[in-house]
Amino acid sequence: MADQHDTTARGRKNSHDDSATDPESLREDERQSREPDGRRERDVHRDERKDEKPRKRSPWTLIIVAIVVVAVLIAGAIYWFSTRDLESTDDAYTDGRAVTIAPHVSGYVIALDVNDNQRVKAGQVLAVIDPRDFQAARDQAEGNLRVAEAQLENGRISLETAKISYPAKLAAARAQLDSARAALANAQAEYNRQHSVPRAATTQQNIDTSTANLRTAQAQVEQAEAQVRENDLVPQLIAQAEAQVHQLEGQVEQARAQLAQANLNLSWTKITAPQEGWITQRRIEKGNLVQSGQAIFSVVTPDVWIVANFKETQLDRIRPGQKVDISVDAYPDLKLTGHVDSIQLGSGAQFAALPPENATGNFVKIVRRVPVKIDIDHGLPPDMMLPLGISVTPTVHLK
């Protein structure tokens, strides 16, 4: 390279000396001198590129890329084959029965026998309302019942008496009528005799007496007939007595019902658990005034299931009875198994407080979710209770 530069320098010097007298020769020499310089520069760059050795691509790179691609394909195939018969969702929660407890009667709480989250048995006393008012009402109802029963007994005796006395009175009235008629006939005969004989054969007193006796006999007959008519209503009088007995029987039944209601009210002063479970949402304290129907407790029963809100596009192959694997977010080590119990006949939006009205305005299609009830079969320890409303992930085996 140094020799080439020296030669170039000498050539340029000679050319400069020769062209001192000729300008055209000088320009020609300069042009010729520049062209070899450009060629020499290109030759130098070409030689440098030749000196550089070409980089060879390592075969391991291609092998690794191929292995990664094959592994991804195999993993994708395995995942597809392993999940093609599975449907899962993370929009799922535990659900159960939360029984709201409310008192039947109003009053002040004098005893509170349970605490928050305490397990109770069916029939266990939870709280007691002051029973004194209800005991007094019960005693009054008992007294009213005894009075009604006494009146009923008296009415029944009166009915039996009426069945005997009213026919007897009728018979006596008829007998009295017969007697009066007989007396009237006798008086009429005496009257006829006294008025048919000559005046010398009788006295005025006898005539007057026969006349008075006739009138008296006639009056007695009329009186006896009136008594017969009065006592002739024997069936109606007996029916009236029977109706009075029925009325008293109704009063007794009413008094018994009032006593039963009083006993119920008294028993309701003890608030008991309707089912076995755990106390939640305790809203009362000792000394509080509670009203009838006021929610004071909730009892969560041991029955727990899963409500999974699957997309409508996932329901095609889900059927009742299919096996379900369940993982619980709160307990990662807890693995539950169950089965599909039923599918709700309606999406969650259909039963919302404000259901969608797709017939108005612009329509945007939204994938709906349908609740699916899943029963837990195995995996839940007997001494463990899943809280209601916690998140779970069910996986349904479609085969």
DSSP 101-113: E--SS-EEEEEE-
CATH architecture of residue range(s) 134-262: Orthogonal Bundle (1.10)
354 exposure class (CB count in 10 Å sphere: 0-12, 13-18, 19+): exposed
Walk across the sheet containing 125-129 and list its strands: 270-272, 125-129, 107-112, 289-290
At the topology level, CATH places domain 87-96+303-397 in Elongation Factor Tu (Ef-tu); domain 3 (2.40.30)
Q: Mind listing the pLDDT tens digit of every residue in the chain (399 residues)?
A: 434 444 444 444 444 444 444 555 545 555 555 555 555 555 555 555 555 545 555 678 888 888 888 889 888 887 777 667 889 999 999 999 999 999 999 999 999 999 999 999 999 999 999 999 999 999 999 999 999 999 999 988 888 887 877 777 777 778 887 888 888 787 787 777 777 777 766 677 777 787 788 788 888 888 888 877 777 777 888 888 888 889 999 999 999 999 999 999 999 999 999 999 999 999 999 999 999 999 999 999 999 999 999 999 999 999 999 999 999 999 999 999 999 999 999 998 888 878 877 777 777 888 999 999 999 999 999 888 899 999 999 999 987
Q: Indicate the length of the chain as a whole number.
A: 399
Q: Where are the domains of the chain?
A: 2-51, 87-96+303-397, 99-130+267-290, 134-262
As a whole number of angstroms, the distance between CA 207 and CA 210 comes to 5
Q: Copy the structure tokens of residue 288.
A: 């509080």
Q: Does domain 99-130+267-290 fall into CATH 2.40.50.100? A: yes
Both structure tokens of 180: 């009066």
pTM: 0.61
Q: Are 295 and 100 a contacting pair, CB within 8 Å?
A: yes
Cα distance between residue 370 and residue 311, in whole Å? 6
